[in-house]
Amino acid sequence: MSLIRFTNQFPSLFDRFFENDMIDWSNRHFSDTNTTLPSVNIVEDSESFEVEVAAPGFGKDDFRIELDNNVLSISSDKKVENETKEGSRFTKKEFSYQSFRRSFTLPVTVENEKITAKYENGILNVFIPKKEEAKPKPIKQIAIS
């Protein structure tokens, strides 16, 4: 009698449940306070980096951006309380607390002193210019003598 190894070409939902992506999803998208982390895009061109943080419903005063030893941290603590009373029979009170912190290690090729930020239409944009020596140089023709 010989042993035959069975391989399933179509993984079941049970198999996929324990894949890293599902486990990692909760770590990437939730903060320590169990609130969702905003999605981030990082765009690089020859002149700069741009960090785009999707944070609708916030105001520019709700954010805190810090730079400490080439680590850029973007955070927010937002607490909202709404209270509505109708007579003595109905009381409605809702709490909302949103907190997050995202940190990014910047390369040494950026101008730390020239970082700027802007919040518009639910997107926080952080502009990080590159140093002159980090920018690509144009092709130089060398004359042959």
**Residue 141 placed within a domain:** no
Domain residue limits at 59: 39-132
Residue 24: its pLDDT value, please? 47
> How far from the centroid of its chain's Cα atoms is residue 81's Cα?
26
Average pLDDT over all residues of the chain: 76
**Residue 112 placed within a domain:** yes
What global pTM score does this model have? 0.63
**Residue 12 placed within a domain:** no
pLDDT per position as a tens digit, 59-96: 888 899 999 989 999 998 877 666 666 665 556 656 66
Residue 38: its pLDDT value, please? 87
- What does the pLDDT average to over 130-139? 86
Contact 38, 109 (CB under 8 A): no
**Residue 57 placed within a domain:** yes
Query: For strand 71-86 and strand 40-44, is the pairing parallel, antiparallel, or unpaired?
Result: unpaired
**Residue 107 placed within a domain:** yes
**Residue 61 placed within a domain:** yes
DSSP class per residue in the chain: --------SS--HHHHHTSHHHHHHHHHHB-TTSPBPPPEEEEE-SSEEEEEEE-TT--GGGEEEEEETTEEEEEEEEEEEEEEEETTTEEEEEEEEEEEEEEEEPPTTB-GGG-EEEEETTEEEEEEEBPGGGSPPPP------
pLDDT class of 2 with cuts at 50, 70, 90:
very low
d(CA 31, CA 75): 11
**Residue 15 placed within a domain:** no
> Residue 94 is part of a domain; what is its CATH number?
2.60.40.790
CB neighbours of residue 50 within 10 Å: 15
- What does the pLDDT average to over 35-47? 86
**Residue 113 placed within a domain:** yes
Q: How many domains does the chain have?
A: 1
